Amino acid sequence: MEYTMLNNGLKMPVIGLGTFLMSLDQAQKAVEDALKCGYPLIDTANGYMNEKAVGRGIKNSNTPREDVFLVTKLWPTIYEENDAVEKTLKRLGVDTVDLMFIHQPSGNFMAGYRQLEKAYKAGLIKSIGISNFRGEKLKKLLAECEIKPQVIQYECHPYFHAEEVMDILEPLDVKLMAWYPLGHGDKALINEPVFTELAEKYGKSNAQIILRWHIQKGHIVIPGSTNPDHIKENIDLFDFSLTKEEMASIDVLNKQKRYYIPDESKEESYASMQLDFDAQK
């Protein structure tokens, strides 16, 4: 396993399991499978509506809590609730999480960020993240926050390198946690000839080559899968390294192609999208 050092001195694994769009049963089983395969990081969110299942998966795996780097995110409708962090921890069945994000740049996001700063000082969360922030809202948050974020979660893959945010955040030593690391499963991306050639050379799959590229770029990746074979394959990345020339041959694929097009009006609607997080079974 490889790790990256966050700007607050916390060591974070560079790969984990993402649970976006997983049902309760799927999330619990995927977490159990991932932890059995040695995954050191699990990512969820209020908005995924599967935090209770993720917590059960961790418990049922019998993996010591200190061996799981647990990540979740606050949903905009609870940015202003004073006990939002505590309720999130209760759903997960844990006393602390290793990283908590504010999930969207909508509503009173500074109130949400203040909640994370308060929880960070109280020791309830070990690091602070921001998700999907960019442009003026990113600049506002950085100008007004007391504690700089440690991680940003943002779309990133060989077709889109997220320079728009990393040009601002890299000088602050904020790490990039890539979602859609495989380009939302786009076959055109995954089957690019450079990946096929490198996969043959190293005895890996095209997806493994892409994930290795991310790691060598300094990214944290959270590929999601409910398939036990894919879960096992996605972490099998640490017995080879791409050369500088091979990394460069992948870098040139960048063409600013996104699979999620940010829409500020849609993002603002999240601030009124009420979800009953405690209704999870």
Active-site residue set: 48
Rg, Å, the chain Cα set: 18
β-pair partners for 130:
102, 152
Pairing mode, if any, of strands 128-131 and 3-5? Answer: unpaired
The interaxial angle of helices 84-92 and 109-122, nearest 10 deg, is 60
132 φ/ψ sector (left φ>0, alpha ψ -120 to 50, else beta): left
Q: List Cα–Cα distances, 145 to 88, 170, 174, 203, in angstroms.
A: 22, 17, 14, 46
Pairing mode, if any, of strands 220-221 and 11-13? Answer: unpaired
β-pair partners for 42:
17, 70
The enclosing H or E element of 50 equals: none
Of 263, 267, 277, 276, the residue nearest 106 (C-alpha): 267
Instruction: Dig out the tokens for 142 from the structure.
Output: 């950085």
* Other CB atoms within 10 A of residue 116 CB: 26
As a whole number of angstroms, the distance between CA 46 and CA 115 comes to: 15
Instruction: Dig out the tokens for 121 from the structure.
Output: 């000082």
Show the beta-strand stretches assigned E in 205-269: 220-221
